[in-house]
Structure 1
Amino acid sequence: MDYDFKTKLAAERERVEDLFEYEGCKVGRGTYGHVYKAKRKDGKDEKEYALKQIEGTGISMSACREIALLRELKHPNVIALQKVFLSHSDRKVWLLFDYAEHDLWHIIKFHRASKANKKPMQLPRGMVKSLLYQILDGIHYLHANWVLHRDLKPANILVMGEGPERGRVKIADMGFARLFNSPLKPLADLDPVVVTFWYRAPELLLGARHYTKAIDIWAIGCIFAELLTSEPIFHCRQEDIKTSNPFHHDQLDRIFSVMGFPADKDWEDIRKMPEYPTLQKDFRRTTYANSSLIKYMEKHKVKPDSKVFLLLQKLLTMDPTKRITSEQALQDPYFVEDPLPTTDVFAGCQIPYPKREFLNEDEPEEKTEKVQHCADCGKSLREFPFLWEYLGAAWCTPCYTSYFGIPVATAIILRDGIQSCPRADFSQSLMLHKDGQMVHCTLQNPNLPEPFVPVNVYQACTIPLIQKIWKSISTNRMSAFIPLIML
């Protein structure tokens, strides 16, 4: 290449660091990379932008997919890609978007924290309706253009803050999106495992190879239920190890525990699912005889004859061929009754949710240290000698016990056989309680002998039984985490 031409090209090349001020303004991080809140240095406008730096060097397939799709997609409820930058020096890829101050993950977390503080504040029903309508409108646009999102979850549903698009929903993160009009291979061959576990449709968990846009509708149903209750409807422990096997026992168990086991007449094609033999072997219909979506939602004060419940039921239909479409959902009677959905989901009221906080650049990234902060108070979990896991997040002890209203008696953590609590202290703690007093015991070690399995299931134990567990752990030098909670 001609030297003068190269020099001219380098001079004309736009660099992110020359155009935008973003240092110290990191607002997100994950396996995809980092997101910064940015403003133009030249002051041409006062708009706030989101700069997404893609992890790694060069353009990955996921980034290529996202860029290619976003360049073509234009809809008020789909995030708009403004520009793409490729850094010549370090070959980093930057994507420029309009900045969204909120997302559903933080909004739901805000309301869940209000429960924990004994000051429950439900999402306003009008706001829930407006959020759902705009999500469905955006997904209908994607589906009409033969695009599956495949990773819908609260964190990927953005909501604009103050400004000309105040309170507007933006569907984001198209890294897993696919065209489905004429795939060369079955979609399951391209990506065997898609969608975050809690929002994954049952046909995916049963190994469906030719899945459809119904998987996005199921995920929207999960988000809808979460907006109504402030809790993930199908939460279960998520495995850290990525696997190409779509079957996930714990997730199916959670779905059946809420919905009940699907009857043959309700889902005739379930027998054709690749993982159906495993389903028959691992599950018993009678175990879930008393489970139903009606019972679950009644606990959260949603009546089974209400329009809100009837729409939720259509979104969370087990059989994907009977599941409602986005177009049908937009015409549902739920959206006709008052309050009507609005373009501004905050309905002109003051926004109660805090703005995004800037993250410390010096903190380890999520991929190197998964648990950083308590899900509720936000304190660093390094301050606490042990952690609690609930709703897929880590909690510090004060927040966890406050949420459930239960006092902690004591706890022991063992890692690779190293005792973090001397055995004498443990014995002394046990002696403070009368023999036979009941406690809850959670075990996170599948190697422990019966009757201390299945893993992560609360069970009632007597103090002598806890002593027996302790003896077994001490003998076998197993790694375990045993919190003892007073009943």
Structure 2
Amino acid sequence: MDYDFKTKLAAERERVEDLFEYEGCKVGRGTYGHVYKAKRKDGKDEKEYALKQIEGTGISMSACREIALLRELKHPNVIALQKVFLSHSDRKVWLLFDYAEHDLWHIIKFHRASKANKKPMQLPRGMVKSLLYQILDGIHYLHANWVLHRDLKPANILVMGEGPERGRVKIADMGFARLFNSPLKPLADLDPVVVTFWYRAPELLLGARHYTKAIDKDWEDIRKMPEYPTLQKDFRRTTYANSSLIKYMEKHKVKPDSKVFLLLQKLLTMDPTKRITSEQALQDPYFLEDPLPTTDVFAGCQIPYPKREFLNEDEPEEKTEKVIKFRLIGQHTNNHSHSHSTSSCMSLDSGRKLEHPNQTHDLLIVGQQC
């Protein structure tokens, strides 16, 4: 072994602690490791970054798969891996991403807290539609490239804050993602079922032997669709014998002949072979009626959601909602004074088109009430 070359290589290797300020800026924790909000020390740009430190020492198989996939995947609605850092001193692996200030889980918690405070803030219909369209677009891209995500849930659907990609949805956390092919492999060949319980497709619960694209996207993601406006787990029952989509949607005042209901019917079909795909869903008439989906899910309006808070070393990631409730009271008071201006807020990007490589029609971003 050429030890001089090894020493020279180690001296030239970029170290994350030399390039970024991130101490005391932890914003996430999980079985995967830790996530920090970071900024460059040299001031070359004012961008905010997310540094994901992989748990454990060395590079696990899960980390290898995530890195390998992210290096190849390039889409506006899939989180982009900027760089990988290897620390030989403590054998840590760091992944560098653009920083996303929000995610669907925190958005849902914010609205639940507002409801609990008897000051409900409804999610705009246009925001729900834009979120759904961008999620479908990202999932269609993954599946077109033979990738199953396998852990889609609100916490893994990021939403960019203020900046060039304001309001853009980013599908994140590819640690459980796998390549698939045709014919399909048995579940045992891909690992046991890993999808978060409340977002599992019915065929997974009923003993399916193969993963399909329908398991990954068309049930997991679209189950979140009614969860947005109601802010509750949809169809949460001890049994499914008396569950009815029609009764559920009528309870939440959704007409059974509306386009949104008809799309839900196609997406929530029990038989995965008859379930609509994300590519088909993107062409659904629901996305052609006003309000049209936008690249900025906030449609140019003021973002009401608080920024992520830093975690202490011994503090769990899932904080109580007391902090959110406390902030909400103050924000509601401040936002009330701006109610006249925000209620008539219009998107400035009235001529900007949604980006979709296989789009056969133009969806224009139009002004809409916030």
State whether TM-score is above 0.5: yes
Counterpart-to-counterpart distance in 2, 1:460 and 1:270:
24
SS of corresponding position for 1:140: helix
**2:8 counterpart residue number:** 8
**1:303 counterpart residue number:** 255
Question: How does the TM-score come out when normalised to structure 1?
Answer: 0.60
Stretch deviating more after TM superposition (268-277 or 188-197): 268-277
Query: Offset at 1:276?
Result: 32
Counterpart-to-counterpart distance in 1, 2:245 and 2:53:
41
Query: Offset at 1:278?
Result: 32
Query: RMSD of aligned C-alpha atoms?
Result: 11.7
Would you say the 8 A contact 2:109–2:321 is kept in 1?
Answer: no
**1:129 counterpart residue number:** 129
Give deviations 1:170-224, integer Å, cap 9, x for gaps: 00011111111157942343312221000000111122111200012xxxxxxxx
Would you say the 8 A contact 1:30–1:365 is kept in 2?
Answer: yes
Counterpart-to-counterpart distance in 2, 1:366 and 1:102:
14
Counterpart-to-counterpart distance in 2, 1:274 and 1:331:
19
Query: Offset at 1:5?
Result: 1.7
Counterpart-to-counterpart distance in 2, 1:267 and 1:328:
14
Gap change, CA 1:446 and 1:210, over 3 Å in 2? closer
Would you say the 8 A contact 2:113–2:321 is kept in 1?
Answer: no
SS of corresponding position for 1:8: helix
Query: Offset at 1:294?
Result: 1.1
Counterpart-to-counterpart distance in 2, 1:270 and 1:98:
26
Give deviations 1:278-310, integer Å, cap 9, x for gaps: 999999999766430111122222221111111
Stretch deviating more after TM superposition (299-308 or 185-194): 185-194
Query: Offset at 1:274?
Result: 30
Query: Offset at 1:270?
Result: 21
Query: Offset at 1:311?
Result: 1.1
How many pairs align? 338
Would you say the 8 A contact 1:130–1:343 is kept in 2?
Answer: yes
Query: Offset at 1:38?
Result: 0.3
Gap change, CA 1:320 and 1:278, over 3 Å in 2? farther
Counterpart-to-counterpart distance in 1, 2:219 and 2:5:
64
Give deviations 1:86-143, integer Å, cap 9, x for gaps: 1101111100000000000000111111111112222100000000000000000011
Q: Rg larger in 1 or in 2?
A: 1
Would you say the 8 A contact 1:80–1:98 is kept in 2?
Answer: yes
Give deviations 1:13-36, integer Å, cap 9, x for gaps: 111100100000000001110000
Counterpart-to-counterpart distance in 1, 2:283 and 2:367:
43
SS of corresponding position for 1:273: helix
Gap change, CA 1:445 and 1:364, over 3 Å in 2? farther
SS of corresponding position for 1:95: strand
Query: What are the ranges of 5 or more consecutive residues in structure 1 without an aligned counterpart?
Result: 217-264, 372-418, 422-442, 448-454, 462-487
Counterpart-to-counterpart distance in 2, 1:369 and 1:289:
34
Give deviations 1:355-388, integer Å, cap 9, x for gaps: 00000124368899999xxxxxxxxxxxxxxxxx
Gap change, CA 1:446 and 1:365, over 3 Å in 2? farther
Would you say the 8 A contact 1:30–1:366 is kept in 2?
Answer: no
Matches within 5 A, 1:254-403: 290-363=242-315
Would you say the 8 A contact 1:48–1:98 is kept in 2?
Answer: yes
Question: How does the TM-score come out when normalised to structure 2?
Answer: 0.78
1:420 to 344, 347, 350: 344
Would you say the 8 A contact 1:266–1:319 is kept in 2?
Answer: no
Matches within 5 A, 1:165-184: 165-182=165-182
Counterpart-to-counterpart distance in 2, 1:126 and 1:31:
34
